[in-house]
Amino acid sequence: MSTEQRMIPESWQQRRLREDGSEKKLMVYQVTIAFLLENREEALRKIRDNLTLMKEHADKILLVFSPHENCDQLERIDPEMHEKFQAIVKEYKAQDFGIYDEEHLSEELPECFDAYYGDASVLAHRSRNAHVPVMIEDIV
């Protein structure tokens, strides 16, 4: 077992394995409260679109959806936006094609991912420093 595999939570590693024993790529997707508050409905649309795209590739990629821990403040700052975001989270969890990182474990595991996608953040920076490809999302 590689050092990387020991660091990945066992439940994640189990979900990463295909029936033939090969591994799916592990991608982290992180959004921040700044992205949500700045772009509002466009941010929600972008998140939905991204999750739909990732679901289409779930045979190759195990997505770890890891909203930045500052998103926990959304309920206090903008309850309506929080409700809409939580609806997306609930749908993602129900579809069960990836992992929802409620414990924010991704923050400490950047070297375990094959790719980072999402907002500019500390995790994006750590991923880059760990030589993980980083793609920053944009509203298009």
Q: What is the mean pLDDT of residues 77-90?
A: 96
Query: What is the three-class DSSP state of 57?
Result: coil
Tens of pLDDT, residue by residue over 48-79, are 999 999 999 999 999 999 999 888 899 999 99
**Rounded Cα distance, 116 and 110, in Å:** 8
Band the pLDDT of 110: cuts 50, 70, 90. Answer: very high
Q: How far is CA 33 from CA 24, 68, 116, 135, in A?
A: 29, 7, 17, 18
Band the pLDDT of 5: cuts 50, 70, 90. Answer: very low
Tens of pLDDT, residue by residue over 8-50, are 899 999 999 999 999 999 999 999 999 999 999 999 999 999 9
Taking 80 as the threshold, does the pLDDT of residue 140 lie above it?
A: no
* N-to-C CA span, the chain: 41
Taking 70 as the threshold, does the pLDDT of residue 2 lie above it?
A: no
Set out the domains of the chain in order of their start, with CATH numbers: 3-136 (3.40.50.2000)
Write down the pLDDT at residue 72. Answer: 86
